[in-house]
Chain A
Amino acid sequence: MSYVNHADLGGLEGFGRVVMDDDEEPFHGEWESRVHALALAMGATGCWNLDMTRSARETLPNYDHLSYYEKWLAGLEKLLLEKSLVTHDELAAGRAREAPLPVAQVLRADQVPAVLARGAPTMRPANDAARFQCGDKVRTRAEAVSHHTRLPGYLRGKPGVIERVHGAHVFADRHSQGRGEDPEWLYTVAFEAAALWGQEAKPGDSVSFDAWQPYLERA
């Protein structure tokens, strides 16, 4: 298994108490705000997609030791290097040494409001009929995969119920690998907490997630 996702944290133990923030500031330090803006602006160039961004961050070998915006920074540098948009030498020197590569778009200030307002909707026309409908009993795929996925480990191989049908959406697993949008039906699937955690769960409590159809089989 060559793909290691360090971000799949649901249900893991040993992280201790939740430490609340002292304020409602979105950024702590100016550099965090610069990293956030740089990541959004580079995302707008079209050199990669959001699923590739998530994949770049979750596979950082030192993921556990980085603060949130350090992950964004390292993920951004990784993608820029992979696409040969910058070189290691340039990052070390802080100056451009090679000619830039052409990019599809450079985000200008007058475009920012419209680009943020539009966002990046992922719903697409469906290529086929939905396999499941509300109330159907399903089971999530049990096996691990060796690429980016949005099926968390703690929800693999578990019995649940289809609760909502969202339409077809860009399929993150393939989109992250540059294999196109390949829309798949997306569902909210609900699980009894006891089906996930056994007796430690309180009866009646539940967990749900949003699952693309390839994550599911009929139970």
Chain B
Amino acid sequence: MSHDHPLDHDHNRNHAQGGHSELSAVELRVRALESVLSAKGYVDAVALDLLIDTYQTKIGPRNGARVIARAWVDSRYRERLRRDATAAIAELGYGGRQGEHMIAVENTPQQHNLVVCTLCSCYPWPVLGLPPVWYKSAPYRSRVVREPRAVLAEFGVQLPAATAIRVWDSTAEVRYLVIPMRPGGTDTLDESELAALVTRDSMIGTALCHT
């Protein structure tokens, strides 16, 4: 449910629907659509369940966190990730839909990277899963290209004055993954411990990694 349109919560509710149904209007509409598409043989119910399970349990930001942790511990992998992210990410078994052409952009003390899709919701699914509601919302999409520092402040991120910001607007089929800076004091951590420090938002650019 979108947070930027609080009315959605109300207009989806349809308590006048015969009294015995607790389903909202939109739920009934989706059910009707699925019934028609299944009856006509256009969709396979088992395939639908598998698609849902895939995006609910298999594809998510833990994939991207593994990529970042590998880049932090292995400088040659990091170089491959910067040169050809699609291939480097495929080394860890991730790729495909909405990540056919991926580019990794590395945060440094000189440049902080932020990713957006002002026109819709383009996002690197194989490494980050499906995008959060805020990423798809009008406030983020409209403002981050124009006032990135104000938006970052709302996420609790304050960058040094000397750090420039690059906002990447994902307008074609190229998908962007931010390589956040490795936090200090993590020399003794192993790859899986490092992966646990990598948040979804840090790979979009709206957060930094902390110990």
Which of chain A's residues has its CB closest to B93's CB? A117
- A27-B55, A36-B51, A38-B37 provided; 6 other pairs, C-beta below 8 A? A9-B142, A13-B142, A37-B49, A54-B119, A67-B2, A91-B32
Given contacts A28-B133, A42-B42, whether A7 and B119 have CB atoms under 8 Å apart is yes
Interface string of A76-114 (1 = CB under 8 A from B): 110010000110001111111000100100111101110
Which of chain B's residues has its CB closest to A188's CB? B174
Query: B47 contacts which of A33, A94, A95, A107 (Cβ < 8 Å)?
Result: A107
Q: CA of A86 to CA of B60 in the docked complex: distance in angstroms?
A: 33
Contact (Cβ within 8 A) A209 B155: no
Contact (Cβ within 8 A) B137 A70: no
**Most central of B55, B103, B151 by chain A CB within 10 Å:** B55
Contact (Cβ within 8 A) B169 A119: no
Query: Which of B14-22, B160-168, B179-187, B189-197 contacts its partner?
Result: B160-168
With a cutoff of 8 Å between Cβ atoms, the chain A residues found around residue B155 in the complex are 18, 20
Contact (Cβ within 8 A) B7 A65: yes
A residues sitting closer than 8 Å to B (CB atoms) are 7-13, 15-21, 24, 26-31, 33-38, 40-42, 45, 54, 57-58, 64-68, 70, 73, 76-77, 80, 85-86, 90-96, 100, 103, 106-109, 111-113, 115-123, 150-152, 154-155, 164, 166, 169-170, 172, 186, 188, 190, 193, 196-197, 200, 202, 204-212
With a cutoff of 8 Å between Cβ atoms, the chain B residues found around residue A30 in the complex are 27
Given contacts A15-B4, A29-B1, whether A37 and B29 have CB atoms under 8 Å apart is no
Contact (Cβ within 8 A) A122 B167: no
Q: CA of A85 to CA of B49 in the docked complex: distance in angstroms?
A: 22
With a cutoff of 8 Å between Cβ atoms, the chain B residues found around residue A209 in the complex are 168-171
Q: CA of A197 to CA of B150 in the docked complex: distance in angstroms?
A: 14
Q: CA of A13 to CA of B142 in the docked complex: distance in angstroms?
A: 7
With a cutoff of 8 Å between Cβ atoms, the chain A residues found around residue B92 in the complex are none
Given contacts A18-B151, A122-B101, whether A150 and B172 have CB atoms under 8 Å apart is yes
Given contacts A27-B56, A73-B26, A202-B165, whether A67 and B36 have CB atoms under 8 Å apart is no
B residues sitting closer than 8 Å to A (CB atoms) are 1-5, 7-8, 24, 26-37, 39-44, 46-52, 54-56, 60-61, 95-101, 103, 116, 118-121, 129-130, 132-134, 136-143, 145-149, 151, 154-155, 164-174, 200
Contact (Cβ within 8 A) B1 A28: yes
Which of chain A's residues has its CB closest to B156's CB? A20
Given contacts A9-B138, A26-B55, A122-B101, whether A152 and B36 have CB atoms under 8 Å apart is no
16 contacts between A and B (CB under 8 A): A9-B142, A15-B4, A20-B132, A26-B60, A27-B130, A64-B138, A67-B5, A73-B33, A96-B39, A96-B40, A117-B97, A118-B97, A119-B95, A154-B145, A155-B169, A207-B167
Query: B44 contacts which of A27, A107, A117, A172 (Cβ < 8 Å)?
Result: A107
With a cutoff of 8 Å between Cβ atoms, the chain A residues found around residue B5 in the complex are 64-67
Contact (Cβ within 8 A) B166 A206: yes
Query: B56 contacts which of A26, A100, A207, A212 (Cβ < 8 Å)?
Result: A26
With a cutoff of 8 Å between Cβ atoms, the chain B residues found around residue A91 in the complex are 29, 32-33, 36
Contact (Cβ within 8 A) A108 B47: yes
Given contacts A18-B143, A26-B129, whether A112 and B47 have CB atoms under 8 Å apart is yes
Contact (Cβ within 8 A) A21 B132: yes
Given contacts A29-B1, A152-B169, whether A86 and B44 have CB atoms under 8 Å apart is no
Query: A15 contacts which of B130, B142, B168, B174 (Cβ < 8 Å)?
Result: B142
